[in-house]
Amino acid sequence: MCVCVCVPRYRGIWSEEEGFDVDEPIRWNNIVVFEWHARGTDFDETALVKPRCDSAVARRVPLPSSWRTALRCLRLDDLATRCAARAQEGGIQDALCIVLGQPKESPLPEPGATLLPGAVAILGQRIEHLLCAHVEGNLWLCHRGSFHEETQLHEDDPFEYTALVEKNLARDALTGPAG
């Protein structure tokens, strides 16, 4: 799917009574109106945003709030398509990846937090692992990231499921890797 999001177009100063007026002089504290336009295979959308002038200058013109989640999800569909293509190249002819949903955003644990999904634990030879899911007791599913050539994070799939490992946090934090 190809998506084209155009540059926002200035429409004027906002007024509750008159809508927007392109001829009105701009002041820092005015509410200004910009029009966004997005076009893709199955849609053609236009939306207005109304930031304060000083905010638009300092932080840029915001996307319409209803578009933010949709644009993030488009990237997931692209990722699913690339993953299916990679599986097909690997010999799985009928591979199909479909995005079934997306979790709501949740805050990361505070630095130094322990034993919460999303926290980082230093295990083994001082390697950071992301705590993904508690199994039971001291056992957790952890991930250290997926890398190319041991040093470059994998761009398409930085958290390949095959790199998930079960770790005993009490044992591995104190003694390093077994063997």
Give, in order, the Cα–Cα distances in Å from 74 to each of 1, 47, 126, 157.
8, 18, 36, 16
What percentage of the chain reaches a pLDDT higher than 90? 6
The beta-carbon contacts of 9-12 under 8 Å, at least 24 apart in sequence, are: 9/34, 9/35, 9/37, 10/34, 11/35, 11/48
Question: What pLDDT score does 178 carry?
Answer: 46
Q: What is the pTM of this model?
A: 0.42
Residues near 168 by Cβ (< 8 Å), separated by ≥ 6?
138, 139
Which of 48, 63, 78 delimits the end of a domain? 63
- End-to-end Cα, the chain, rounded Å: 48
> Among 31-45, 101-115, 119-133, which stretch is predicted with the lowest mean pLDDT?
101-115
What would the pLDDT profile of 38-91 be if each residue is shown by its tens digit?
A: 776 566 788 899 999 988 888 888 888 877 766 666 666 777 787 788 888 888
Q: Confidence class of residue 24 from pLDDT cuts 50, 70 and 90?
A: confident
Tell me if 93 is assigned to some domain.
no
Q: Confidence class of residue 179 from pLDDT cuts 50, 70 and 90?
A: very low
Q: What is the dihedral of CA 42, 9, 75, 95, to 10 degrees?
A: 20
Q: Confidence class of residue 33 from pLDDT cuts 50, 70 and 90?
A: very high
Q: Which residue range(s) make up the domain with 12? A: 3-63
Domain count, the chain: 2
Tokens matching residue 111: 């630095």
Tell me if 146 is assigned to some domain.
yes
Confidence check: pLDDT of 104 > 60: no
Helices (H), strands (E): how many in the chain?
Answer: 3, 11
Question: What pLDDT score does 2 carry?
Answer: 47
Helix ranges, the chain (H): 53-59, 65-89, 169-175
Tell me if 164 is assigned to some domain.
yes
- In this prediction, residues 24-51 reach a mean pLDDT of 84
Tell me if 18 is assigned to some domain.
yes
Q: Confidence class of residue 176 from pLDDT cuts 50, 70 and 90?
A: very low
Question: What pLDDT score does 50 carry?
Answer: 93
Tell me if 20 is assigned to some domain.
yes
Tell me if 43 is assigned to some domain.
yes
Which of 37, 63, 89 delimits the end of a domain? 63
Which of 45, 63, 81 delimits the end of a domain? 63
Tell me if 82 is assigned to some domain.
no
Tell me if 53 is assigned to some domain.
yes
**Rounded distance, CA 4 to CA 19, Å?**
27
Instruction: Look at the alpha carbons of 153, 158, 162, 166 in this order and tell me if their dihedral is positive or negative.
Output: positive
